[in-house]
């Protein structure tokens, strides 16, 4: 069962939902994330775990991981989630937290990766799906797909189109890998 963490518009969450993957809980650090509207429209339980309501990130992550577990989550997908996760959270789901990132990691980690590739003028960029560790986009790579930077006008649109195909593909494979 999949739990998805979101902070923004939620197009990758929508791709998982549209492909019929078993998303049973959606959590956010922001209560104004449009992704939460998408989750509710699909009848998926949502919750917001704001840092303002907790002593620190580790405590927030512990409470969030408990909520996910209570909903039967055994695979966590970060779909535009903008906070790093702490050890207490990662220890609850060892090897079972996945992120999608709009570059060919280790190139251009962090925020604004698409713009960073455009600014650097590289010929090729792409998409990475990887396991999450405590670092910034540093975990082991599960899948990558390259894209030419040009035409730059359509780069963002092309990247999102690949994300919406690659992330559900990897997630589906991980679900089947742990099926009895
Ligand atoms: C995606 O580009 C993803 O790769 C990055 O954040 C963006 C989230 O978009 N981590 P959305 O919220 O899924 O539309």
**Does the beta carbon of 142 sit less than 6 angstroms from any atom of ligand 1?**
no
- Chunk the chain into consecutive blocks of 10 residues (it has 180) and report each block's average pLDDT, rounded to whole numbers: 98 98 98 98 98 94 98 98 96 97 98 97 98 97 98 97 98 79
CA atoms within 13 A on the CB side of 92: 21
Q: Which atom of ligand 1 is nearest to the CA of 160?
A: 2
**Residues 114, 125: contact at Cβ < 8 Å?**
yes
Q: What is the pTM of this model?
A: 0.96
User: What angle (nearest 5°) sits at the alpha carbon of residue 179, between those of residues 172 and 141?
Assistant: 45
**Does the beta carbon of 163 sit less than 6 angstroms from any atom of ligand 1?**
yes
Residue in 100, 108, 141 to alter for ligand 1 test, most ligand atoms within 8 A of Cβ: 100
**Residues 101, 127: contact at Cβ < 8 Å?**
yes
> Starting from the edge strand earliest in sequence, which strands make up the sheet with 75-78, in order?
46-48, 23-28, 2-6, 75-78, 97-101, 124-131, 141-148
């Amino acid at each position: 069962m999949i739990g998805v963490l979101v902070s923004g518009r939620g197009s990758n969450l929508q791709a998982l939902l549209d492909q019929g993957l078993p998303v049973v809980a959606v959590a956010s650090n922001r209560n104004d994330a449009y992704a939460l509207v998408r989750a509710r429209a699909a009848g998926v339980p949502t919750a917001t775990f704001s840092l303002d309501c907790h002593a620190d990130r580790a405590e927030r992550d512990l409470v969030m991981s408990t909520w996910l577990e209570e909903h039967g989550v055994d695979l966590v997908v970060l779909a535009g989630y903008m906070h790093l996760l702490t050890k207490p959270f990662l220890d609850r789901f060892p090897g079972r937290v996945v992120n999608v990132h709009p570059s060919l990691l280790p190139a251009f980690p962090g925020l604004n990766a698409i713009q960073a590739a455009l600014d650097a003028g590289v010929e090729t960029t792409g998409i990475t799906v990887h396991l999450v560790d405590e670092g910034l986009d540093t975990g082991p790579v599960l899948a990558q797909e390259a894209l030419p930077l040009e035409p730059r006008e359509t780069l963002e649109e092309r990247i999102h189109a690949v994300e919406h195909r690659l992330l559900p593909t990897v997630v589906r494979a991980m679900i089947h890998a742990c099926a009895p």
